[in-house]
Amino acid sequence: MTNGEAMPPLTALRAFLAAGQQGSFQSAAQELGVTPSAISHQVRTLEAWLGVPLFVRTARQVTLTAKGRRFLRDIEGAFGKIRLSAERMRGRGTKTTLRVSALPLFTSAWLIPRLADFEARHPDITLAIETTNRIVDLERDGVDVGIRNLRAPTPGLVVKKLLDVRAVPLVARKLAPQLRRPQDLAQQTLIHISARPESWREWLKAAGLGDLKPKKELTFDTVPAALEAAARGYGVTLGMHPLVWESQAAASLVVPFAAKASVSSSYYLVHRKHDGSRAEVRAFVDWLTGEMARFVRTRPQVPVSARARAN
């Protein structure tokens, strides 16, 4: 359809934004306080204006086309900027607060060293960062963005994989000569994380040592504390390669032996679907994924002193 206007109808854009984010005309109608037929009409008006289909419609659902997905990303950013600018004009302050919940190790080892870059790029966004191992409910806990280490992403949220990791045993350099093979763990103290009590059990099972009993066990509530204890020679802990090498304790730790065990997971960034149009959420997500992509390209290796004995 040929149209001399430079901009499509704003009402149609808003209907498409809601429908695209919700994945449903019915849910979009509830969000905007109109009928599903009104949403459908506005979307068809926009499709006619653009001259391209934005959704594939079936009897039970609607699905964005490839062009629809690209267009949704573009207008989410545009609406987010409009919202942020309007808040500033209405005198709500020059800064917008973004609430982030991240795991302690990710925050201390990876995020904090890079925050200066984000603040320089986005001086109008104030980050409120909560570090916790517990599972958070974004709605209940008032969190905008969550960063978690999971085996699989949480359904019902916008999910972006950040990094694949695998568990490796870590020990202070001075204790490494005592550990030449996985079976030697029976003579050591195994350091656990209370939020992940099954980690050592799973690793030992993967190594074919499901019945191994350590000499002693020690438990901490955070990964940074467990790494510090291991670095001081209190025992052997598990760390997530390659992220663990960003921690302060990593300089004193090595992987003591080669092992076929492989227990893997991934770090994910999650946020609510309707928050995707918020400028501050998009700014943080774009920055974080970009920084992580650079980290993955130059990911650190197992320390040289242990590389000959490690996977």
CATH number at residue 203: 3.40.190.10
- Is 5 a domain residue? no
pLDDT, residue 303, reads 57
**Residue 72 binned pLDDT confidence (cut-offs 50, 70, 90):** confident
Assess whether 63 and 118 both reside in one domain.
no
pTM exceeds 0.85, yes or no: no
Residue where a domain stops, chosen among 89, 104, 125: 89
Dump pLDDT digits (tens) for 33-56: 899 999 999 999 999 999 999 999
Mean pLDDT value across residues 83-87: 65
Strand pairing class (125-131; 96-102): parallel
**Residue 271 included in any domain:** yes
- Work out the average pLDDT over 122-150: 87
Is the pLDDT at 63 greater than 50, yes or no? Answer: yes
> pLDDT band at 260, cuts 50/70/90?
confident
In angstroms, what CA-CA distances link 295 with 69, 242, 291, 298, 300? 27, 10, 6, 5, 8
Residue 228's pLDDT is what? 96
Residues 272/158, Cβ–Cβ less than 8 Å: yes
* 102 lies in some domain: yes
Whether 25 is covered by a domain: the verdict is yes
Q: Are residues 16 and 69 in the same domain?
A: yes
For 132, residues 6+ apart whose C-beta sits below 8 A from its C-beta are 101, 103, 104
pLDDT band at 5 (very low <50, low <70, confident <90, very high): low
Query: What DSSP character marks residue 213?
Result: -
Which range of residues forms the domain containing residue 284?
Answer: 96-163+266-297
52 with 106, same domain: the answer is no
Q: What is the number of domains present in the chain?
A: 3
Residue in 235, 241, 249, 250 with CA at minimum distance from that of residue 176: 235
Judge whether residue 263 has pLDDT over 80. yes
Q: Is residue 3 part of a domain?
A: no
Residue 238 phi, psi (nearest 5): -105, 135
Alpha helices in the chain (DSSP H): 10-22, 25-32, 36-50, 66-89, 104-105, 115-121, 199-206, 223-231, 279-297, 304-307
Assess whether pLDDT exceeds 80 at residue 59: no
Alpha-carbon dihedral 190, 193, 194, 198, rounded to 10 degrees: -70
Residues 128 and 176 in one domain: no
Instruction: Choose between 237 and 88: higher pLDDT.
Output: 237
Task: Clarify whether residues 249 and 284 are in a common domain.
Answer: no
Share of the chain above pLDDT 90, in %: 56
pLDDT in the model for residue 290: 92
Question: Are both 270 and 147 inside the same structural domain?
Answer: yes
Q: 66 with 102, same domain?
A: no
Residue with tokens 């025992």: 235
Is the same domain home to 57 and 127?
no
Neighbouring residues of 202: CB distance < 8 A, sequence distance ≥ 6: 167, 263
- At 233, is the secondary structure helix, strand, or coil? coil
Give the rounded distance of the alpha carbon of 7 from its chain centre: 35
Q: Which two tokens stand for residue 178?
A: 């005592």
Per-residue pLDDT, 85: 67
The pLDDT confidence band at residue 162, using thresholds 50, 70 and 90, is very high
CA nearest neighbour of 295 among 287, 307, 305: 287
Flag whether 2 is in a domain. Answer: no
Encode pLDDT of 218-259 as tens digits: 999 989 999 999 999 999 999 999 999 999 999 999 999 887
Query: Is the same domain home to 157 and 277?
Result: yes
* Last-in-domain residue among 63, 89, 115: 89
Do 71 and 108 share a domain, yes or no?
Answer: no
* 28: nearest Cα among 243, 273, 220, 216: 273
Mean per-residue pLDDT of the chain:
86
pLDDT value of residue 287:
93
| Distance between CA atoms of residues 251 and 225, nearest Å | 15
